[in-house]
Amino acid sequence: MKNRIVVLTLFSIAMGLLETAVVVYLRAIYYPSGFQFPVVSLSETILVTELLRELATIIMLAAIGYMNGETKSERIAAFMYSFAVWDIFYYVFLKVLLNWPATILDWDLLFLLPVPWIGPVLAPCLVSLTMILIYATVFYKKSKGIHIKLDRTFWGLVTLGFSMILYTFMYDSVHTLIELSKLESFDLLRDIRSFIPKSYNWPFFTLGEIVCLFAVYTLWRQK
């Protein structure tokens, strides 16, 4: 099992470096003075390519997670771990190569599917640490001969918690699109470029994290 964990970790770190490399190229082209909001306009081809690349990344992380578990619960936990390590090391390599972010509270465009996710760098890193904790709980229990099941209680809590967190990531994008759609001269690709994030809903994010951590607690109590 230890060899599987090592391989899963190395693969996820390598994926993080690959993600960073793509972003380094994009920022050199579109943000030569450094990334900042509002975002610049991408051609339709580049935008579609980015969306497909993100989808392909998720598929690859899910595939390696599937291969590193024996049960459905272990495979899901392994996918969460792979995603988390990939996400954290993406920022580690960005810091090494571009010296960005300046602080963990800098805003970032986190994801594009299904709408842009926006938030401080610290937020997704905290979510990733929670995913790692889920994985650690499942496989620690397995090492003790206890096969944890991700039951309805766990999924109910995790769905609620992550939904609250995703709300904080997507709220600005959705709210901006709704407001812009009210304009007579609404042009999505043009007007969304004027958006600059100002504040983040940390209280609601924290509540979502607490719910997710309670879900982990329910796993820990399984015997």
Q: What is the pTM of this model?
A: 0.90
Give the residue-averaged pLDDT of 60-71: 94
Query: Quick count: other Cβ atoms within 10 Å of Cβ 1?
Result: 11
**Domain tally, the chain:** 1
Residue 183, pLDDT > 80, answer: no
pLDDT (tens digit per residue) in 139-182 = 999 888 888 889 999 999 999 999 999 999 998 777 777 766 66
Residue 222's pLDDT is 86
- Domain span at 65: 2-220
Residue 90, pLDDT > 90, answer: yes
Dist. CA 153–CA 218, nearest whole Å: 8
Residue 55's pLDDT is 93
pLDDT (tens digit per residue) in 25-47 = 999 999 988 888 878 877 889 88
Predicted confidence band of residue 103 (pLDDT cuts 50, 70, 90): very high
* CA dist list (Å): 207 to 103, 162, 213, 219: 23, 10, 10, 19
Residue 89's pLDDT is 98
Percent of the chain with pLDDT over 70: 91
Residue 182's pLDDT is 65
Residue 185, pLDDT > 80, answer: no
Give the residue-averaged pLDDT of 126-135: 98
Residue 38's pLDDT is 77
